[in-house]
Chain A
Amino acid sequence: MRSHKCSVPLLSLLLVFAGIYLFAGGAEDAYLIKGAKIYTSGTQGVLTDAALLIENGLFKKIIDGEEWPSVPVKDYSGKTIMPGMVDAHSYVSGYYGLLDNTKIFTSDLITDMVFDPLDPEVKLALESGITTVNLSPRNENLVGGISSILKLSRDFNNISVLKKRSFLKISFNGEVIRPDRAPTSLMGAEHLLTQKMAAIKPGSDQDRADIFPQKGLRSLLGGNLPPMIAASTLAEVNTTLQWLEKWQLNGVIVGGEEAHLLIPSLKQKNVPVLMSPILPSYPEKWAKNAAHLIEHGILLAFVSHMPETDPWSLRLSALMLYHQGISQQEALKTITLTPAQILGVADSVGSIEEGKHADFVVLEGEPLDLGSPIVAVYVNGRAALLGEK
C-alpha cells in the first residue's frame, strides 16, 4: 500500500521528464533542407523546388511549397541532392578479416563483427557518397559466410545494422579454384557444394557434434537465407543458374561480367545481377553489356568490391551507363534504389521518400558529373563526414 502511494508521484515525474526529453529531442533533431535540386530516385523523380523536413533521422516530409515549419534551416541553394549510395557488395574496412582460409565451407561466419568504423576506408567510402554497404565474405571460399547490411559510420558507439543476416555468400568465381586443395575445377566446386548440401538435410542434427554446424547452409536450405553467388564468366554464371534451378532457390549474382551472354535464362529465372564496376581501363563494350542487361529488364546494380576497386567507381559506372543511352534517373537508380531493392531494404534506404532513413549526399553540381565534388554526406540525418555539423 505504502509503495503504491510512493509510485504515483514518481511515475508522473518520470512521464514529465520523458515528455520534456522527447519534446526537446524532437525540436533539436528536426531541420529543413532547402534550395537544392533533389534527385529522389523514387516515384517523385527530380524535384527542383522542394524542401526536406528531417526529423529523428528520417525524411519526415517532402514539402513542395512555401509553407515551412519553424525549424532550423540548412540552405543548400544551387547544390544538388541525391540519395545515399547503396553498395551491395563491399569488403570495406575488413578485407583481410572477411576470409577464413582454414576451410572452404565457413557458412557460420557473420560479417557484421568485422566492420571497423575507424578504418580510413570507411572515410573514403563516405566521401564518395556511399552510406549503406552489404559487407560480404570474400570470394576465396566456396561458402564464405553470411553478409550483413550496415550503415556506414565513423562513430564506433553508433553503428547501425540494417539487417544482420542478409545473404549467404557462395562463390563459383575463379578465386575459389586452387591447385593445392579441392576444388580444383568449376565442375568440382559445384559438385562439392551439392554434396555438402545433400549431406545437410534441413532439420536433421547429424553434424551437431561438429564445431561449426553450418548454420548458414541450413538456413539456406530452409529458405530463410537467400544465396548471393559470385560468378563472372559465362561458365560460372551458367553453373550458378543451373545450381539455382536444381535447388529451387532465388539468388543474386555478384560480378556478372559475362552475364549478358545468358540474358534469356537470367530473365526466365528472374535473377538480379550485382555488377562489378565499369572502370576506365575496361573496354567500352562492358558498359554496353551492362546497358544491354537493363534494356532486357534485368535488375542490375553496380557494386564496388571495395577496396579491390575505388569507391568512386560506383558513380563512374552510372555515368558510363548514361553514355550508353540509359536515362540519367535510371542510371542513378543502379547505385541507389536498385541495390536496395535487391538487398531487400528498399523500405528504409535507397531513395528520398517520406518515412525512409535520411541518408543523402549533397553535391556541388550534377550527380553524374564527376567534376562536381561531394559537399556533405548525411547518414540517419546526421552529417557523417568530419568538418561538418
Chain B
Amino acid sequence: MSKKILREIFHKGLFFSFSLCLFGIFCLAQNPLVIKAGTVLIGNGDELRDVFVVVEDGKIVFVGKGYVVKPDVHVLDFADKVVTPGFIAANAHMDVMRQANEEGEEVTPRINVLYSVDPRAKDFDEAWRSGVTSVYLAPGNLNVFPGMGTILKTKGPTPQDMLVQNQVHLKMVLGREPGQGNSYPSGRDPMHMRNRRPQNRMGVVFIIRYELTNMQNKRGLPDTELTPDELVFRQVLKGRMPLRISARSYMDIKTAFRLMEEFGYRWILEGGVDAYRYLDELEANDIPVIYGPVYKNKNRGDFNREDDRYMARTPVLLAEKGIRFAFQNNAESPISALRDEAIHAVELGLAEEKALIALTLDAARILGISDRLGSIAKGKNADLLVFDGNPFEPSSSLLSVVIDGKFYDPNK
C-alpha cells in the first residue's frame, strides 16, 4: 500500500516538475527582447534618445520611453550605441542564383526568380554582415522583359523562409544589354537560338512596343481569354504593376519617358547614372530612382561621361529636388558597398538623414513594403542594426545585426 502511494507521489512529482519545465520554456519563449538604446535613428529622419525598443515574435511592439521592465527580463543595454533599421538594397546584383538569366526567350514576365535562389550563397552572407537585411532580386538584364522581382531577407534556411514579397515590379531593360550575345557570328548556324532580335537599342524598343501595343489592342477582352503573360502586361498598362526600367545612359532614360507618353505606364528608374540630366522630368512625373553605384563605378563604356562630378552628386541633386531615391549595387561593386555608397554621397554633400532614409524607408516605399520594413516603428519587422557610432562615419563599425528579432554577430 505504502509503495503504491509512494509511486503515486513520485509520478505526481515527475509530472509537476515536467510541467514546471514546460512552463519555464513557455516563459522564456514569451519573454520580449528589450533593447535600451542611447540613440535610435528610426528611419524616417527622426532621432530618439534613451528609448526602449521591445521586440516580440520578430516584430517591434514598442518604441519609446517609459517601458516598464519586468523584473526577470534581461535588458540589452546599448547606452552609447546607435540603432538603425536594417538596410534595404532596392536592387541587388548578387551571385545568389545558379543562373540569373533565362535566355530562351526575350519576353518572360512570369519567370519566378525565387526558384534559382540558393540561401547559402556567399553574397547573402556578405549582405547581412554588412547590414543589408533585405534585398530586391530580379532576373538578369539579358532579356527585354526578364520577369518580376522578389524581395528576400538575407538570412534563412530556405528561399521560402526568406521571402518578404514575391512578384514585385515587372523589370524592363533598355540599352544594349538585352542584345548582348544575340548577334551570333555569321556563317555559324542561322537557326541558332541566339540569332534573334534584339541586337541593339532599336530592337529592344521594337519588342517593348510590340508587346505593349498588342496588349492595348486586346483592351476589350476579359481576363479569362488572356495568357498569364498578357495578364501581367495588362496590370502594367492599368498602372497596378509598376515597371522597373533599367536605363543608365541619357538616351535610354529619354526612351523610357517617350514610351511612358505613348503607353502611360507607371515606372521606376533603375540604374539612372545619367538621371541628373532629367531632374525636372523625374520630379514632374513623380518617378523614384534606384541609383547606383557612385562608389567604384568603373563601367565607363556604355555612356558618355561629360562630367563625373555631376554624376557622383546625383543623390544630392535628387534629394534637393525631393525625388524619392534608394541605393543599389552593381555587378562590379560588392553588396557590402551599399553603406559605402551612402557614406560617399554624404561626403559629397547629402544630408545624413536623407542618406539613411534612402537606405531604409524610401527603399521600402519604392518596393511597396513600407508597412512591414524600413523603419523602427510599432508593428514592423524587427530588422535592426547596432553601430558603435554614427553609421555614416567610415570608422564606426557594425556590432550586431537583428533579423526578425534574432541577433547575429557580423564579426563572427
Contact = CB atoms under 8 A, between A and B. Distances in A.
Interface string B86-110: 0000000000011111111100101
Interface range for B: 20 to 34
- Overall SS of chain A's interface: helix
A39 B129 CA distance: 54
B118 A188 contact: no
B158 interface: yes
A22 interface: no
Given A235-B115, A239-B115, A185 B102 contact: yes
A186 B114 CA distance: 10
B193 A186 contact: no
Contacts of B158: 234, 238, 261-262, 265
B157 interface: yes
B98 A235 contact: yes
- Overall SS of chain B's interface: loop
Contacts of B193: 180-182
B188 to A, nearest CB: 11
B118 A234 contact: yes
B116 A184 contact: no
Contact of B116 (A179, A186, A261, A265): A186
Interface in B190-229: 192-194, 228
B119 A187 contact: no
A184 B115 contact: no
B159 interface: yes
Contacts of A234: 118-120, 158
Given A180-B193, A262-B158, A265-B158, A187 B104 contact: no
Contacts of B390: none
A190 B118 contact: no
A185 B409 CA distance: 34
Interface residues of A, number: 27
Contacts of A183: 102, 104
Contact of B160 (A181, A184, A186, A242): A242
Nearest to B147: A187
Interface string B151-163: 0000001111000
B134 to A, nearest CB: 20
A177 interface: yes
B139 interface: yes
Contacts of A265: 158, 160
Contact of A187 (B112, B120, B192): B112
Given A185-B101, A235-B115, A265-B160, 13 more contacts: A181-B104, A182-B102, A184-B99, A186-B98, A187-B97, A187-B99, A187-B139, A188-B108, A233-B98, A234-B120, A235-B118, A239-B115, A262-B158
